[in-house]
Amino acid sequence: MDDNTRKKLIDKGAGALADALISLAGQNDLAADVVERLSSDQSELIKKVKRKISGLKRRKAFIHWRESGKFADHIEAILTDIKAAEPDPETGLGLLAAFYETDKAVFNNCDDSSGHISIHYKVIAPNMFAMYASDCADKKMVLDLLIKLYSDDDFSLREGLIEKTCEMIGLHETLNSIHLFEMLEEQEEDEYQKYHYQRAILSLARQTHDPQLFERTTLKYQPQPGAAAILDIAEVYLASGEPGIANEWVGKIPEGDIYMADKRDNLLLLIYKALGNPEKLEKTAWKKFRARRSLDSLNMLLEVIGEDKREQIIEDEAYYIIDEEKEANYNDIQFLIDTKQFDEADICILVKAGTGKLDGYLYPILLPIAKAMEKEERFLSAYVIYRELMLSILDRKFYKGYSHAAKYLRKLNALSEKIEDWQDLGNHQEFLNWLEVVHGKKSSFWRHYRG
């Protein structure tokens, strides 16, 4: 709502607004939470939070995924109440620790495949915990609480607590925490819990910004590190101002290993820039651009070789896609559209259609392409895409999508009137005849179309 609405509400007066809020609270649980929050002092809010947390721990009813969004609002209200109470750091940490201890009762009895509920445990609560912990004078108490919470994490919801440890307790206690977690890891027999501790140790070592410590810690658990671990080590060295060592580590990834290639190339761009190696910087920028052409990768390349080369690169790449590549992929087609190379995009789409390579199942990718080509009056390209989108729905008998399929057929009818040259791709009447034969018995689809 705009400022004018706010002013009008203020003009109504406190009494009128209070009456409206109370009335609304009687109809809506979230509104009731807001009213209770506004009308409670600190001690009342803290008691309210404790009651709600106790209720979560006792909860037995199952939460279906359809209900998860509404239940997530209830979880959010608890965290909002904690903030609104403005507790001292120790009290705030105690309330958040109690909140985390509800995870078993909640996640043993819910379907959170949507992620609506877990985000509050994984993202919002850790940020609040870090805020209170940073202000807490007793860093040893904070560390003890961190270890206690992290060690009892059956649902992997508490890993976010570790990510800001150095910020919360300082470098000295963070180094101490690494030692404590290493002892726990060595004593642990359960393989999952050992791995859980190892993840904490690696995160803590990284937060110290000591690349040698992070390297030793990584190699302790992965004596023969794969690409992911190698890149992590290289990142830490680069962040510590040692691009040469970072480059050496990236060089340990075997030639031809494409796992995490995009991350590797991004890191190499930063390394070569730090080393002042323009030749390798340009080579890597070209490699990254050619791996996935887009406006973003084009702009990245131009930052290296110069903005003045934009038009030439666009022209050259359009030629390269058409004449050199065996088959343009959808990223290339979108790139051609984004750079207004519609003739070349038209050719790529029609070649795919003629060779049966248009995949109507790729709806999120194809629909924007179809709309762009229709807008540019490339009606045959738009037609063949809409045709594949419609057939993908009919072929898999996706009844809920029949209304969309009917819209696509009406779109095909309209486009067909604007097409003069069908380029051996089958005209609209031929398609309609075929459609009646193959999908004529899908009565639900035809009702949507004719209705």
* Average pLDDT, 10 consecutive residues per value, the chain (451 residues): 76 77 76 75 92 94 94 95 96 97 96 96 97 96 97 95 96 96 96 96 97 97 96 98 98 91 96 97 96 96 97 96 84 97 96 93 96 98 98 94 96 97 94 95 94 82
- The pTM score is 0.81
- Output the pLDDT for position 24: 77
- Output the pLDDT for position 1: 59
SS3 346: helix
Nearest-angstrom CA–CA distance, 333 and 294: 10
| Digit-coded pLDDT (tens) for 424-436 | 999 999 999 999 9
- Output the pLDDT for position 391: 97
According to DSSP H, which parts of 292-378 are helical? 295-305, 310-323, 330-338, 342-354, 363-375
Residue whose token pair is 């992929």: 329
Please indicate, yes or no, if residue 448 is contained in any of the structural domains. Answer: yes
Question: Considering Cα of 15, then 17, then 18, then 20, what sign does the dihedral take?
Answer: positive
- Output the pLDDT for position 373: 98
- Output the pLDDT for position 13: 81
Exposure string (b/e) for 13-23, b if CB count within 10 Å is 16 or more?
Answer: eeeeeeeebee
Please indicate, yes or no, if residue 404 is contained in any of the structural domains. Answer: yes
Nearest-angstrom CA–CA distance, 205 and 184: 16
Q: Any long-range contacts for 418-424 (C-beta under 8 Å, 24+ apart)? A: 418/377, 418/379, 419/379, 419/380, 419/383, 421/380, 422/380, 423/350, 423/354, 423/380, 424/354
CB-based contacts of 420, cutoff 8 Å, min separation 6: none
Please indicate, yes or no, if residue 378 is contained in any of the structural domains. Answer: yes
Nearest-angstrom CA–CA distance, 329 and 321: 9
SS3 433: helix
- Output the pLDDT for position 32: 74
Domain span at residue 13? 1-32
**Token pair of 395 as six digits:** 């072929």
Please indicate, yes or no, if residue 319 is contained in any of the structural domains. Answer: no
CA distances from 449 to 36, 205, 368, 379, 442 (A): 52, 62, 23, 21, 11
Please indicate, yes or no, if residue 439 is contained in any of the structural domains. Answer: yes
SS3 331: helix
Contact 257, 227 (CB under 8 A): yes
Number of domains in the chain: 2
Please indicate, yes or no, if residue 149 is contained in any of the structural domains. Answer: no
According to DSSP H, which parts of 188-294 are helical? 191-207, 211-221, 227-239, 243-250, 261-275, 278-291
Other CB atoms within 10 A of residue 306 CB: 10
Please indicate, yes or no, if residue 428 is contained in any of the structural domains. Answer: yes
On average, the pLDDT of the chain sits at 94
Please indicate, yes or no, if residue 6 is contained in any of the structural domains. Answer: yes
Q: How many CA atoms lie within 13 A of 70 on its CB side?
A: 7
Question: How does DSSP assign 47-112, residue by residue?
Answer: HHHHHHHHHHHH--S-B-GGGHHHHHHHHHHHHHHHHHH---HHHHHHHHHHHHTTHHHHHTTB--
Contact 351, 326 (CB under 8 A): no
Q: Provide the β-strand partners of residue 366.
A: none
